[in-house]
Structure formats: structure tokens, C-alpha cells
Structure 1
């Protein structure tokens, strides 16, 4: 029995007991997949993906590892925002759209078939050389202050943001492209992406770059663009502003998990960082996939591929969630 089959069975065992009929159904699926796997030892073809900046680094890593097993499979990946990914997938331009937000009902009606593959989150980013950085780290950002920045535009100074006498102006940034980060951050504030106020900047790298240059700026990024995956610390000139979740006016010990990428990912996995702005990440295709190359890639991601999520700065799916997603495609 192949490694992927073993890993799939392991996922099922971790999720507890199942009924006899469920086991029979899964066994039939596994038998079909094993027969297909035997045919796929010389797998060749092409996979095209486009979409979310949030998922791009993870998919690149999965593609590299997958091609070590199947070097005759070509994988083309381009980032351009979740909106582009879902549009391309539904139009049949790509095999998968990378989407970093929930799938809208209208998209499901058009044939969107979504597979959850990992978790991450959107975080608030500021310049680490902000003159008020120590207060920023100890007081954090309340939800009401975030609403005043991105919705009502009633926060004009850092004093307005932090509840201090400071008259230092604050520069608020948002995304110009249709993307999961803005959709998710808007959901946290109770508004849609198009209602987010601020200076619009294209892409995750764009927001990170402008925050690195603007000492009094504030924006939001996917964690892969806020933290350095190798050092597990925020990128140069970037600090992650903690969320004051209980509105106490200070960051309490249970809210303080932003120093390293590992701490934040543990908080996301444990539900201590709220959802939204934490969220699942999806690969979306038009209709349930049937192509052997596409299915093999998905099974790889949901089994062996999960081992690279944490080291790449993402949160792996729970065993139960993996079982649910595998059941959808097998």
C-alpha cells in the first residue's frame, strides 16, 4: 500500500470510530484510488494555478515536493489576489484558483468546488520604527479603533488609535485588488472589502513594502508577508500590532502571542486568535476534479503535504478537517 494511502488511513484513525457503512464506503474509495495510483506511477501533465498571495508561498513549496515524486508534471503558479483566482478557476483558465476567503454562495452556484488545504490569518502591520512603538505593543488595537481607521475614518492621529494625547498623524492602508486578506479583514470589522477606507495598495508585497517605508503607517497583511519564515520573526522594519480582543486598553498575557511566527500559529490553531481574521485557505476548481494529475496533487497536499505547512508559516488542518476534505474528492 502506498504512502498516501497509509497517511489517509492514519487521518481516519485519528478522527475516531466510524460506522461500518462509512468504513465500507471509504474502503471502496481507497481501492479505486489505489488502482488509479498504480496507473499514475509515470504521471505526467500540467497543473495551472492562480490567485491569493496568501497561499502562493505554500503552494510553491507543495509543487516543489510534488515534482520530486512526479518530475514529468509541470506546475505553473501565479499570484494576483483571491478575486483573480476564483475568476480564473470558474472561467476554466486555470485548474485551481488559490482563494484566501470563504467561498460566496453565488460562486458555488457557478460551479466552484473548494478544498480547504491549510489555515493562516490576517494581521495588522505597522512600522517597527514608529515613534510610539512601545505603546503600540502594550496597548494594541481595539476593534473600535480598527473601525475608526478603516470604516468611519474618524481616527486621524495615533492618539485617536491608542487613546493617548499624541497628535502624530496615522496613515491607513488597504488593498486595491480583490483579495482574501481585505475580504477577511473587512469581515472582522463587519463590512465588505469595497467599504474599507484608506490608501489602496496592490498586493500583499505592496502593503508590506509601504509599511516598511512609512514610520506612521498602518495596514494589514497575511502572516506569510508579515513574518520571515526562516527567522520566524517579523520582516525588517515591520511589527505586528496586537489585537486588544477584550477591549481592556492593554494587551493581557493571554493576548500576547505575536513575538514569533510559531506563537501566532499556535494561537490560530488553538482558537485564541479570532476567526476572522484567521481563516482557512482553499484551492478552488470548476466542478469536482476528475483528472488524475489534479486528484493526485490534491491527495498529496491533504496527506504528505501537511508536513510542510508549519515550517512554511501556515497552520495544518486538523485530522477531522482533513478527513472531510479527502472524502470530498475520493
Structure 2
């Protein structure tokens, strides 16, 4: 009899704890982010800072593969969506990214074009036309272009800047993320590609990443590359110039977060508003340009008025 009483008491204690445990599980919030992979290091820093102050919130990055995860709250993207998609989401343009031409530092191509540089004609000739098939003798150093296989922000931005579409970029197409273009280039002494400053430079030393030569371009559009335009050894100086001047031959596009207008996670909106208020502190460190302040402020105000429903 005594044993039965002890069992009943234990059972009662067990059930008395269940509501509290269930309530705790319900009160915790999870925000799932996915999208362009080159932005993950920057986004990860924001997540750590935000959750340090808001430990009750769990924010995770679900890595994009060929497609986005089945469920997510926030999408970070590096190209403008189609009109139909934009009508269903609220956007916050938190940064701008530039695209620079790079080559394997061991290549004859790198040695030649680190001096010559690219103007608009050179870009089009190399990246969008088979100059060997056309028997064009102006480019003599061997090269192998590496570009993205899947539709993505960087190749779309790069191609459209010069009046083309992504599928018109010549060369070897690589599955995966922008980082995989860098890996392919480093394995091939003839390799060339285009990439963001955050991948072209070592973010700690602010110098070009090991094994990479950044090709100078005709920034003022006068048809030639000056000595000043060849000064690419310091990332911060490059970013200064891109932010302070209207430059040519450098594709620049917005990096933006978006959240669905319907059935959205309130915690995702809170995090997005925090990012909009604090993102400017970290952009330079990771190789990004600041967004146009008026655009960011307008989008932030729209998001503040936007009522989410979970």
C-alpha cells in the first residue's frame, strides 16, 4: 500500500511539472533565415549580437542548396525579384555589394591585366564572347572563365550591368555558391572570374586573398586604366572610392532581406528592424558598401507599419 502511495505521489509531481515545461517550449521563438550564401558571415554576426541581448529567441541560418528550404521566415537575396514575388513580401535593403574581376595570381593573364586592366570593351570581349573562335588576337594570355551554374545574384548582376543575361556568360559553369568559383580559380592557373570584395580580399589583413590578383578596371570610363585605378592593395581604400565616386565598370547591386506579408513570424520582424538600425556598423568590415540612406529609411518605416500575423 505504501508503495502504491509513493507511485501516485510521483505521478502527481510529474504531471504538475508538465504544463510548465510545455509553456516554456511554447514561449521560445525560432526564426529561420536562408538565401544568398556569401552573406552568411555577415548575417551570422548579426544573429550572435541580437541573440546575446534576446536569448529567448533562436535564429538559425538554413543553408540554401539548389532550392530554398521548405520553410523560412527571412530571405536574404542579392538580386531584384520579379514583380509577382515583390508584391508578396516586404523588403529592407541593408547593404550594397560590388563585383570585381579576379584571376589566379600565378597566371600570365594576371600579370598582363594587372597592368593593362579592363575597360568595358575588354569585359565584353572576355566574358561574353568566344574571342578564340572569332580569331581576335588582342588577348594573348590563356584564361579560363568560371561562372555560376544556378541562377544567382552575382552572375545576374554582373551580366545585366554589361547588357547581357546570366546564361550568356562564357566559360565553365560551377554548381554551388560564389565561394566555389574561388576554389575552382585557385586550382587552375588560367582561372578568372568575378566576385564580391569580401571574397576577393582577406577581411583581416584587408589585402587581396592569397592566390588572387584583383584586376584593375577603368573606373572613370575614359577608356584606359590609370596608375591610381591600379591601386588595389587595400580593401578599405577600394571601398572608399566605390562609395564616394560614381564609378564605371564595377557592377553594384543591393543586398536585401525580405519577409512575407502574410503569415509572418513576429520575431522575424523584430530581428529585421534591429538589423535595419544596426547594419551600418558592420558593412565595411565585411566588404560591403552602405545602402542609400533614404531608401533604407523608407523601407524601415514601411516595415515598422507592417503588421505581421503568425
Q: TM-score scaled to structure 2, two decimals?
A: 0.79
Q: Is the 8 A contact 2:50 2:271 kept in 1?
A: yes
Deviations 1:218-242 (A, max 9, x none): 1111222111111111211011112
Match of 1:192 in 2: 165
Q: Is 1:62 aligned to 2:46, yes or no?
A: yes
Q: Is 1:240 aligned to 2:214, yes or no?
A: yes
Mean Cα displacement is larger for which, 131-140 or 45-54?
131-140
Once the 2 structures are TM-superposed, how far is the Cα of residue 291 of structure 1 from its aligned partner?
A: 3.6
Q: Is 1:98 aligned to 2:72, yes or no?
A: no
Match of 2:180 in 1: 206
Once the 2 structures are TM-superposed, how far is the Cα of residue 79 of structure 1 from its aligned partner?
A: 4.1
Match of 2:104 in 1: 127
Q: Is the 8 A contact 1:139 1:249 kept in 2?
A: no
Mean Cα displacement is larger for which, 134-143 or 66-75?
134-143
Once the two structures are superposed, the pairs formed by residues 109-188 of structure 1 within 5 Å of their partners are 109=87, 111-154=88-131, 160=137, 163=138, 166=140, 168-188=141-161
Tell me, what secondary structure is at the counterpart of 2:37? coil
- Counterparts of 1:147 and 1:141, CA distance in 2: 10
Q: Is the 8 A contact 1:147 1:189 kept in 2?
A: yes
Once the 2 structures are TM-superposed, how far is the Cα of residue 54 of structure 1 from its aligned partner?
A: 2.9
Once the 2 structures are TM-superposed, how far is the Cα of residue 285 of structure 1 from its aligned partner?
A: 2.3
Gaps of 5+ in 1: 1-42
Once the 2 structures are TM-superposed, how far is the Cα of residue 326 of structure 1 from its aligned partner?
A: 1.2
- Counterparts of 1:156 and 1:125, CA distance in 2: 23
Deviations 1:240-287 (A, max 9, x none): 112224565642145345322212221222244448611110112222
Gaps of 5+ in 2: 1-26, 305-310
Once the 2 structures are TM-superposed, how far is the Cα of residue 44 of structure 1 from its aligned partner?
A: 4.2
Q: Is the 8 A contact 1:140 1:241 kept in 2?
A: yes
| CA separation of 1:80 and 1:146: change in aligned 2, threshold 3 A | farther
Deviations 1:78-134 (A, max 9, x none): 4437x845xx5xxx721112111122223224x133211111111111011223434
- Counterparts of 1:243 and 1:93, CA distance in 2: 41
- How many pairs are equivalent? 276
Match of 2:22 in 1: none
Q: Is the 8 A contact 2:33 2:62 kept in 1?
A: yes
Match of 2:251 in 1: 277
Deviations 1:125-153 (A, max 9, x none): 10112234343122111222222222222
1:267 to 232, 241, 256: 241
Match of 1:31 in 2: none
- Counterparts of 2:257 and 2:282, CA distance in 1: 17
Once the 2 structures are TM-superposed, how far is the Cα of residue 306 of structure 1 from its aligned partner?
A: 2.1
Bigger Rg, which one: 2
- Counterparts of 2:156 and 2:247, CA distance in 1: 17
- Counterparts of 1:74 and 1:103, CA distance in 2: 28
